Structure 1
Amino acid sequence: MISTVDGAVAGADGRSGSINGPADWRAFRVMRALADVVLVGAGTARSEGYTALSAPTDLVGLRERTVGSAPLAVAVVTGSGGVPERLADAAARPDGAGPVWVVTTRSGAVRAVEHVREDRVVVAGEDDVDLATALAALADHGLRRVLCEGGPGLLSSMLEEDLVDELCLSTAPTVVGGPSPRAVSGSEVLSPAREARLEHLLHADGVLLARWNLRTDGTSPVG
C-alpha cells in the first residue's frame, strides 16, 4: 500500500498511481516477483485497470531462485462474481501471462464461470466472502505467498480476520487533502488494535518505505 503524508491512498484522479514514484515502484516490482499470487478487490482491479500479470522480466532470476518458475497469478475478490472487463478479457484470451482466479461466494460462482475457467473459481462463503477459507483454498493450489494489493476495504477485512502477516506501506512526500480513504478503510475500528513491529525502513527520493511485522506473537494465519 502507499499513502500520502496526510493519509490519502489516491490522488485527485482516484488512483494510487498518481501518488507513487520510482522508489515505490521498485519495491512494488520486487514484491510481485516474490509472490505466488496477487490478491485484489474487484473495485481496485477495475479502477486501477488490472489485467493478467507477469513477473518483471529483469527479476525472473530472483523469482526462480526464491519462488520457482510458476507464473504470477492474480486473484480478484468479488462477492457478486463480477469480473472487471480487462481481467475477464485476459482470462478469455491468455497471452502468456499468469492465470486469473476469482474468489467469490457460492451464488457469485454462477456468474464467475462466465468469465474464467471453473477450476479457477474459489468458492469461499455463502453470502459473504470468507477470506480465511479463500486463502486456504489458494494454498491448496500452491499459491501460498499472497501479496494483497488492496484496496483499503479488502485490507481492512483481512486485518479484521487476522490474516495479514506483514504490512508494506510507503509514504509519498506529498499532501493532497480531499476525501480519499486511508490505507485501511473499514466500517469498524479494529478491536483489539493490531500491534506492529518495524522490520525495515528505507528512504529514497523523499519516499519512506516501511515493512511492518504484524505477527509479533509468531503465529501464522494459514498453515
Structure 2
Amino acid sequence: MRRLFPSPLSPADLDDREWGPAELADLYAYPADLPAGTAWLRANMVSSLDGAAHHEGRSQPLSSAADMRIFGTLRGLADAVVVGAETVRQEGYRPARAREVFAARRAALGQGPAPVIAVVSAGLDLDFSLPLFTAPLVPTIVLTGADAPAERVAAARAAGAEVLVVAGEGPGVDVARVPGLLAGRGLTRLLTEGGPRLLGQFAAAGVLDEMCLSLAPVVATGTAPRIMAGPPLAVPERFALGSVLEDGGFLFTRYSRV
C-alpha cells in the first residue's frame, strides 16, 4: 500500500508496504472537535471502474484484502454502523465484533468494545432470528417511522433489538434525523455502509459529511446501481479530497464535504 495524497510525500509514503492498524486508524480518525451533540456521518463504499456498487448483489467481488483492512479500521473507529434493511438482507449482516487491535483506542475515547449496528427500515421486513438481533455484543438499534407495523416492532423488541420509532411521523424514515438521533444517545462517530438507496437519501438530506470510496480496478457492467441511488440534488454538492492510498491497482480515497 502506498500513500499518494496528501502532499508532500516522503520516500516512505511511496514504498509499497502493508500499513499497520495504528497507521490506518490515525489516517481515518474522526474529527476531534465536533460540537457537542452533533455527529459526523462517514460513508464507506466500493465501486467498479464502470460505477457498479456490487456484482450480482454482493460487494465482496469488488473488494480486496487491503479494502477489507480499511473496512475493519473504519468499523474499529465508529460508535455506530448505520445500514439499510436491503443491505442487511443482501449481505447477510452479522453483529460487529470487538477487535483487540482497537481496544485501547476505543477505551481511551470512551467507546464500547464494538460499534452498534443501527438498521434503517420503514417496514421492518427483517429476519429477527438472525444473530444480528439475537446475539450482538452490543444491542442492535432499529430506526423506523411512527407508522411501522406494530407486530414487526414487537418482533424486533422480542429478539432483543432496541427500536427507535421517532425517525419519522409517517410510514418512512426521515434520514435527516438519524445522525442527531444517534448523537443524542452518545453515538457521534457514525459510519454508513449503504446500501446505495440509503446513502443517496443521506446525501440528498445534506447530512453526509465524508465519503470513503474504494475504486476497484475491475469492470462489472450489468445493471448494478451506482453507490448512491436517490433523489437528485438541486445543486451537486462539493467534497474536498482528503487522502488517497493505492494497493494493487485499488484506490482508497477519502473526501470531506466542503
The TM tier, using the shorter chain, reads: 0.7 to 0.9
Between the two proteins, the alignment pairs up a number of residues equal to 210
- 1:134 corresponds to which residue? 178
Q: Using a 3 Å threshold, how does the CA distance of structure 1 residues 68 and 202 change in structure 2: closer, same or farther?
A: same
Q: What CA distance in whole angstroms lies between the structure 2 residues aligned with 1:66 and 1:204?
A: 30
Q: SS of the counterpart of 1:50? A: coil
Give 1:86 shift: 5.7
Structure 1 segments, 4+ long, off by >4 Å, are none
Q: Once the 2 structures are TM-superposed, how far is the Cα of residue 114 of structure 1 from its aligned partner?
A: 1.2
2:145 corresponds to 1:105: yes
Query: Is 1:91–2:133 an aligned residue pair?
Result: yes
Q: Which residue number in structure 2 is paired with residue 42 of structure 1?
A: 85
* Alignment correspondent of 2:51: 7
Q: Quick check: 1:122 aligned with 2:164?
A: yes
Q: TM-score under structure 2 normalisation? A: 0.76
Of stretches 142-151 and 67-76 in structure 1, the one that deviates more from structure 2 is 67-76
CA pair 113-85 structure 1, distance change in 2 beyond 3 A: closer
Aligned with 1:116: secondary structure? helix
Q: TM-score, normalised by structure 1?
A: 0.87
Q: CA deviation at 1:67?
A: 5.2
Let me know the Cα RMSD of the aligned residues. 1.9
The within-5 A match list for 1:177-192 is: 177-186=221-230, 188-192=231-235
Q: Which runs of 5+ in 1 are unaligned?
A: 217-223
Residues 39-81 of structure 1 show CA distances to partners (whole Å, capped at 9, x for unaligned) of 0000001100002212333332333334533531101110012
Alignment partner of 1:61 out of 104, 107, 115 = 104
| Post-superposition CA distance 1:136-171 (Å, at most 9, x none) | 221111111110110000000000100111000000
Higher-Rg member (1/2) = 2
**Equivalent residue for 2:242, pick from 164, 180, 199:** 199
Q: Which structure 2 residue ranges, 5 or more long, are not aligned?
A: 1-44
Change (3 A) 1:67 1:148: farther
Q: Residue 219 of structure 1 corresponds to which residue in structure 2? A: none
RCO comparison, higher one (Cα < 8 Å, 6+): 2
Q: Sort the Cα spacing of 1:86 and 1:179 in 2 relative to 1 into closer, same or farther, 3 A.
A: farther
Q: Residue 5 of structure 2 aligns with which residue?
A: none
CA distance in 2, matches of 1:42, 1:175: 27
SS at match of 1:108: coil
